[in-house]
Copies of this chain bind each other. A is one copy, B any other.
Amino acid sequence: MTEMNTVEARPRISLEDLREAWLLLDPEDRVYGFRSLDPAEADDFFLSLTTRDQRDLVLHLPVGERRLWLRILPPDDAADLLQDVPEDERAELLAQLDQATQHDVRALLAYAEDDAGGLMNPRFARVRPEMSAEEAISYIRRQIKEQPGSLNYAYVLDADQHLLGVVSFRQLFGMTPESKIKDVMRTSVVTVPEGMDQEEVSRLFAQHHLIAIPVLDERGRMKGVVTADDIVEVVREEATEDIQKIGGTAVLGAPYLQVGIMGMIRRRAGWLSALFLGEMLTATAMTYFQDEIAKAVVLALFLPLVISSGGNSGSQATTLVIRAMALGELRLRDWWRVVRREFFSGLGLGLILGTIGVIRILTWQSIFHTYGSHGIIVAITVGLSLVGVVLWGTLSGSVLPFLLKRLGFDPASASAPFVATFVDVTGLIIYFNVARMIMRGTLL
């Protein structure tokens, strides 16, 4: 009673304000704001939250209020929510669900979260091939009353739950009442096995413009349906993970503003330190070229320019290849085609940068006499090095994702900073060796 009064005394919060402020609110304020919505608004709002926010909100509600919210979720979303709940609280939440849903959710929890099985809704409209349109419609009506589920297609199954074909609701509505399902059903259906990775599943959705794909077990029995609305989130998540890897950080796993400073440093320090240790090889390599630098300080002037050009061209190549792999445009066996293509791209790009570099040095030389009496030799050294380093950067950047994939790692780990670091060390060696060759007898 006292608590109710306190709550009443605080101002009501509008749906718009709550949405707007949600990311910034702490758990208690979220609960307060959520409870102050009217029931219809609260339903919509709860369903519109991410799985993560749904879970946090439910866990902060008193035990007595949890049931209502868990029960409005379809089984696949309820399973997603429970996936991340600590073991000891999971049983308590499961017990809030009705028997049929509990059963479905337990089955779904047995799948890996990233598999087709973990994404699918186990409830769908079933019909038999020998049914008439009229029978099928009233049969589906009964199914809906018992267990509401996905409703874009009716799936035609035999007695052993094998998938024979699909009928869209559009077709079903358009059929004359007596015509048979088996005469109109489409029999060539894109399906996925339970264990298929969600990235692969999303590729099929994009490729075939589908709204729903049935999931079959290894014996061809239909287990559920994955729908495009779940895939939209999967595609965004996978892209986010790839982008974060390409940028050279560990996957954040949560919205940017929800990761604390310490968590942020932890997720970034690992890769950054690894890259730093790799980059230390530049200092080691440079000690071998100390004499050259001492004799021709001009070499040091162009060092950052030359090695960073290798890094930039490597970043380009690796990013293009990683994305093409993720989209399914490139497979492991395409590596040699890619190397051949990137050889010519790298050579072309190297020649362009080399030419710009030579022009820049000769121009400065003729105007300011910046490089003493050896302008042309410096220009040739830098120009040739650029061709070599850009070619090398491009080839490394394109091969590394294949190599990582072949070794069983995620190709996206061949991040732009990783390739840049690798090319810095090797680019430096190329540069000083070109210099030794060209400058022997003059500057060196």
Contacts and interface: CB of A to CB of B under 8 A. Distances in A.
A319 B243 contact: yes
A239 B244 contact: no
Interface in A208-243: 208-211, 227-233, 235-236, 239-240, 242-243
A32 interface: no
Contacts of A145: 174
A241 to B, nearest CB: 10
B264 A341 contact: yes
Contact of A345 (B202, B268, B271, B290): B268
Contact of A424 (B247, B248, B308): B308
Contacts of A242: 239, 243
Interface string A321-356: 111100101100010011001001100110011001
A99 interface: no
A151 interface: yes
Interface stretch (A63-71, A112-120, A277-285): A277-285
B168 A319 contact: no
Interface stretch (A86-94, A103-111, A293-301, A433-441): A293-301
A132 interface: no
Contact of A48 (B209, B290, B341): B209
A252 interface: yes
Contacts of A236: 202, 206, 235, 239, 327
Nearest to A268: B316
Given A236-B206, A244-B319, A428 B304 contact: yes
A346 to B, nearest CB: 9
Interface string A12-43: 00000000000100000000000000001100
Interface in A101-157: 137, 140-141, 144-145, 148, 151-152
Chain A: interface residue count, which band?
35 or more
A404 interface: no
Contacts of A152: 151-152, 211
How many monomers of this chain does the complex have? Answer: 2
A16 to B, nearest CB: 12
A290 B303 CA distance: 13
Given A141-B173, A308-B424, A323-B244, A272 B231 contact: no
Interface string A396-434: 000000000000000000001100110010001000000
A204 B104 CA distance: 28
B244 A229 contact: no
A164 interface: no
B235 A312 contact: no
A367 interface: no
Nearest to A230: B209
A193 interface: no
Contacts of A442: none
A444 interface: no
Given A211-B228, A227-B211, A233-B206, A269 B329 contact: no
Interface of A: 23, 40-41, 44, 47-48, 50, 77, 137, 140-141, 144-145, 148, 151-152, 168-170, 173-174, 188, 202, 205-211, 227-233, 235-236, 239-240, 242-244, 246-249, 252, 255-257, 261, 264-265, 268-269, 271-273, 275-277, 279-280, 282-283, 286-287, 290, 293-294, 297, 300-305, 307-309, 311-313, 315-316, 318-324, 327, 329-330, 334, 337-338, 341, 344-345, 348-349, 352-353, 356-357, 360, 370, 390, 416-417, 420-421, 424, 428
Given A202-B232, A239-B242, A276-B309, 6 more contacts: A235-B236, A242-B243, A269-B352, A272-B390, A273-B353, A303-B303
Q: For the complex of A and B, list the 3 residue pairs with the smallest distance between their C-beta atoms, beginning with the closest.
A: A247-B319, A239-B239, A228-B228
